[in-house]
Structure 1
């Protein structure tokens, strides 16, 4: 993330400079002025002018600025910031100081992989579907929560080794790898399998509807470009009688679980590459899909919960209850990701006030579950209402949280919140 909006107070600014054009020029000495707050616009409080200014994350934030008035006299005003970002000089990330950066830890030793080849297959793609009901749809299996998906080809007595990224190992991965191992063919393959395991990406996105052709194209492009193996689609707005057709247009060789049985709108979809992961759906509700995953190579087991919180605080009580109940059953690595529709900290919204009563239930849930925000880069505010400057609101309501076991299992993992583009939510990739 290079830019973010912050509130700046111009303390002691003479009232004659409070016009919109003057404030834009003065605030331009700091960054790009987005808007004035309501008190400044209506001049209800004259102690300072308050502006929302878009600044560079790594820029210098001065304590005062000077300018020349219409008579050439220098005017100096003091600046106060409602909030400033905490930045890291090591990784250029936001949200943690340099001394807390994980990149300062001693790197683990291991070979550097330069190339992984993808094995081509002429076999037609099939899809495995997981829903909270039992039955058969065409040649696709429909499983209940708690069952897992096995997607190996029937005619293969010894299926190819698959990485968590969904790539097949070829005998000639690179010439250098061949030369580095002596012995028979089986020994060489065991060495390659041990060294080239790379976990595929996990991601989620509140897409605000999947019925539009452009939205489906954007999702396909996103999955392909980021090599995603597990994905949470949020706010799909696809009816229960149409979700299978829509999902086939996105990734027809993947497995899928929806929460249509818990909510008529199918608010959350979980999609995954069955070649990379075995997935056991543990629980499905109107606000969560909770699953246990095992990667097929290293057999590492972990849990993922995709979340889409309701808009009203009273309706989100069931979400906090569900997450607490999941925590009691989990003994390993756990990741929670999605759109909570709730900020966690007072500095995570610009454009409207935040009350303690609004964030306390979320904070209590986080404390009970023993999770914390994963290291994140990219956009700090993950949602905007896309309104004009005076009505613009920014919120950080999409996030990824992990427990200590996740950090131990995946110490280098981090979340990247990409620009939202034409949408109002930022997509997230791990």
Structure 2
């Protein structure tokens, strides 16, 4: 299966929508999460029908007006079942239709607020108690693990960084980096998943497993 995570910073522009469609087909992506779509609920249906008919699309509009997280799963290759969701994450079970292999994925878009992100870390710890297969956590956490990962000039909050690292440790997650220290996408997984080919950095995160 091919998983991909992309902070689109907007999906209203038809050019961006075509770019996403091209990416999906060129790399035969099975599951794509789109972060920070900035698409209002009233526009989401027309965009989904117009561009993503081959995919089952899950959004978190019930928890956030701007649908901060979209998860697209290819109908012909995988089945995705949402297990939990709120404004900062969508947690789901993904089953490969041919092999019947299952993974758990948690798509994250962390809040800009450190206090709200602490609630996210607690949610992830709660999810851990139900993990009984490979678990992939991906998205935009809005916090770095080490100070040198920070791309912007904004100062690093050491307490918030420590909170994130504690969550990673508590959940027995492993950081997979493929595009250098400043990779815009961060992927974390447990040791239960075996990955085939290397993943590719495309100003987003793409992973084959």
**Do these two structures clear the TM 0.5 threshold for a shared fold by scoring above it?**
yes
Q: State the Cα deviation string for residues 311-332 of structure 1 (Å, max 9, x = none).
A: 1211211211111111110011
Q: State the Cα deviation string for residues 240-269 of structure 1 (Å, max 9, x = none).
A: 111111112321121111000011110000
TM-score w.r.t. the length of structure 2 is 0.93
Match of 2:150 among 321, 324, 349: 349
Q: State the Cα deviation string for residues 324-354 of structure 1 (Å, max 9, x = none).
A: 1111100110000000010011221243432
Consecutive unaligned residues in structure 1, runs of 5 or more: 1-198, 384-397, 419-425
In structure 2, the residue matched to 1:412 is 196
Are the counterparts in 2 of residues 202 and 229 from structure 1 also a CA contact under 8 Å?
yes
SS in 1 for 2:41: coil
Q: State the Cα deviation string for residues 87-138 of structure 1 (Å, max 9, x = none).
A: xxxxxxxxxxxxxxxxxxxxxxxxxxxxxxxxxxxxxxxxxxxxxxxxxxxx
Q: State the Cα deviation string for residues 357-376 of structure 1 (Å, max 9, x = none).
A: 120110110011000112x3
CA RMSD of superposed structures (Å): 1.5
Map of 1:102-141 to 2, 5 A cutoff? none
Choose between structure 1 and 2 for higher RCO, CA contacts under 8 A separated by at least 6 residues. Answer: 2
- Larger Rg: 1 or 2? 1
Aligned mates of 1:379, 1:247 — CA distance in 2: 33
Are the counterparts in 2 of residues 379 and 417 from structure 1 also a CA contact under 8 Å?
no
Are the counterparts in 1 of residues 73 and 79 from structure 2 also a CA contact under 8 Å?
no
Aligned mates of 1:373, 1:311 — CA distance in 2: 21
> Alignment length, in residue pairs?
206
In structure 2, the residue matched to 1:427 is 204
Aligned mates of 1:379, 1:249 — CA distance in 2: 36
Aligned mates of 2:21, 2:195 — CA distance in 1: 29
TM-score w.r.t. the length of structure 1 is 0.46
In structure 2, the residue matched to 1:324 is 125
In structure 2, the residue matched to 1:220 is 21
Q: Which runs of 4+ in 1 moved over 6 A?
A: none
Q: How far 1:413 sits from its partner (Å)?
A: 5.0
Aligned mates of 1:214, 1:379 — CA distance in 2: 28
Aligned mates of 1:311, 1:414 — CA distance in 2: 31
SS in 2 for 1:321: helix
